[in-house]
Structure 1
Amino acid sequence: MSALRLHLVRHGETLFNVRHQLQGWCDAPLTPRGLKQVEALGEHFRDVPLVAAFSSDLTRTRATTLGGLAAHPSIEPVWLRELREWNFGGWEGQSNPSLWEPLFASRGYRYGEEGHWALLTANGPEEVIDLIAASDVSGLAETAAQVTERMRAAVRIITTAVDSGDVLVVTHGSALQTLIPAFVPGARIEAGYPNCGVTTVTISDGVASLGRLDASCSLPEYVTSGFVLP
């Protein structure tokens, strides 16, 4: 049987990314740098024989997917609610530190300190998701069980629809923390997954493996005039 190669991509840079705001299910437009990243993504996949594309249904992932498919106009992407970012509930739109600093501190770690995300999520991201939900006074944030079921549903949809070939899958930074283990049990990725970063999951003879991160489309050398970049 031929292998199924799933090219997992985080969306292009947005205004909320630049402003260090929690984004979740709300949306912000792509920055000029984000648009350049999406163009680079299209070139990256120009000579890849894509057979299908799946994407979160939010605006930033839709724009990224369409750019990634620039050389594949015959492919109709499938928009999936299941591939959305974690729902941060009442925290959405707030500054990243307003959530993460007290959450890290509650477990004896420091937000932004190298290696502390890995320590915080040593047993997976589920505890973190539940801590976010517990701290959300609006009651709208998702629990770990809800996020995990969404990601498992996305995996079922994608692998049922396509059994071989190259597939583009566009989602979100935190969602990748739970989506990748849903494809490759026990697999982990580091925090700070770059905008338009690409990691390939290969499934062959029922065995899934995770490839290396390709950050070339994140364009770290590109400076956006008028924006303060992270």
Structure 2
Amino acid sequence: MPAARIHFVRHAETLFNVNGQLQGWCDSPLTDRGERQAAALGERLRQVPLAAAFCSDLTRTRTTAAAALAGHPDVALKEMPELREWHFGAWEGQPNASLWGPVFRDHGYTYAPASPDWPQMTAGGYDTVIDAVHRHDPSCRAENARQVRDRLAKGLDVVTAAAGHAAATGAGEILVVTHGVVLGTLLRQIAPDHVLAGGFPNCGLVTVTWRDGTVTVGETDDSCAVAPA
């Protein structure tokens, strides 16, 4: 059977990304740089034989995915709430450090933007980090680890089924546009031993391949993240 292949992409840069605000389930528009990143992603994927495309139902992923499909007008985009970012509860829209500071301390680390400690902190998985976010949320609305795992599993079932069908019929490959920390969670559910070397850049792309029962997670392609002015 031919290989099944899914291209996972983080959305392009947003205003909240630049401002250092927690985004979660709330939204902010793409920046000018984000628009250029999304356009570069469209060029990057123009020659990729896409059979289907999925994204979360939030504006930043929908906008990024629409630009990514510029060269594929016949591919319909399916929006899925299951592919949303972690829900940060009352921390949504707040400065990153207001939440990540306590969460990092819970794990014995000190938070800094683009922290080099993130891979070590999540080396055993994301559950303790997600549950710490839930524990620190004064509104009690933030998701816990079980809730995140369950909804992502539902989304992955749909995406991997589409990938398997596309591979079996020779129809092509799959595109998924989603969010930063949820991408790490998704990849860990697909390949439990996989550990991201660092954070996932805006419009970064990683390809997962299934062949003969073996799953391979590729290196992160950040070529679209560095969009020229």
Same topology, TM > 0.5: yes
In structure 2, how many angstroms separate the alpha carbons of the residues matched to 1:150 and 1:114? 27
In structure 1, how many angstroms separate the alpha carbons of the residues matched to 2:111 and 2:15? 21
* The 10-residue stretch of structure 1 (97-106 or 165-174) with the greater mean CA deviation from structure 2: 97-106
Aligned to 1:34: 34
Instruction: Letter of the 2:58 partner, please give it.
Output: L
Aligned to 1:141: 142
In structure 2, how many angstroms separate the alpha carbons of the residues matched to 1:210 and 1:186? 10
How far residue 114 of structure 1 moved from its aligned partner, in angstroms, is 4.9
In structure 1, how many angstroms separate the alpha carbons of the residues matched to 2:49 and 2:63? 20
Query: Which of 201, 207, 214 is the equivalent residue of 1:207?
Result: 214
Alignment deviations for residues 171-213 of structure 1 (CA, whole Å, 9 cap, x no partner): 0001011101122222121342100000000011222110011
With structure 1 as the length reference, what TM-score do the two structures score? 0.93
In structure 2, how many angstroms separate the alpha carbons of the residues matched to 1:39 and 1:115? 29
Within 5 Å, which residues of 2 pair with 1:19-98? 19-98=19-98
Structure 1 unaligned regions, length at least 5:
224-230
In structure 2, how many angstroms separate the alpha carbons of the residues matched to 1:68 and 1:60? 12
* The 10-residue stretch of structure 1 (155-164 or 71-80) with the greater mean CA deviation from structure 2: 155-164
How far residue 24 of structure 1 moved from its aligned partner, in angstroms, is 0.2
Aligned to 2:130: 129
Provide the aligned C-alpha RMSD in A.
Answer: 1.3
Find the residue that maps to 1:168 and give its secondary structure: strand
* The 10-residue stretch of structure 1 (188-197 or 170-179) with the greater mean CA deviation from structure 2: 188-197
Alignment deviations for residues 78-118 of structure 1 (CA, whole Å, 9 cap, x no partner): 11111100000110000001111122123321112853212
Query: Which of 196, 211, 214 is the equivalent residue of 2:203?
Result: 196
Find the residue that maps to 1:169 and give its secondary structure: strand
Instruction: Letter of the 1:134 partner, please give it.
Output: R
How far residue 214 of structure 1 moved from its aligned partner, in angstroms, is 0.5
Aligned to 1:15: 15
Instruction: Letter of the 1:193 partner, please give it.
Output: F
Instruction: Letter of the 2:69 partner, please give it.
Output: L
* The 10-residue stretch of structure 1 (211-220 or 193-202) with the greater mean CA deviation from structure 2: 211-220
Instruction: Letter of the 2:123 partner, please give it.
Output: A
In structure 2, how many angstroms separate the alpha carbons of the residues matched to 1:155 and 1:185? 14
Label 1:21 to 1:185 Cα distance change in 2 as closer, same or farther (>3 A). Answer: same
How far residue 162 of structure 1 moved from its aligned partner, in angstroms, is 3.1
Aligned to 2:2: 2
In structure 1, how many angstroms separate the alpha carbons of the residues matched to 2:110 and 2:192? 28
In structure 2, how many angstroms separate the alpha carbons of the residues matched to 1:147 and 1:16? 22
With structure 2 as the length reference, what TM-score do the two structures score? 0.93
Structure 2 unaligned regions, length at least 5:
none
Instruction: Letter of the 2:22 partner, please give it.
Output: L
Aligned to 1:228: none
Find the residue that maps to 1:141 and give its secondary structure: coil
In structure 1, how many angstroms separate the alpha carbons of the residues matched to 2:106 and 2:194? 26
Paired positions, count: 222
Aligned to 1:150: 151
| Alignment partner of 1:179 is 2:180 | no
In structure 1, how many angstroms separate the alpha carbons of the residues matched to 2:194 and 2:23? 25
In structure 1, how many angstroms separate the alpha carbons of the residues matched to 2:119 and 2:49? 35
Runs of 4+ aligned structure 1 residues displaced above 4 Å come to none
Identity of paired residues, percent?
50
In structure 2, how many angstroms separate the alpha carbons of the residues matched to 1:139 and 1:9? 30
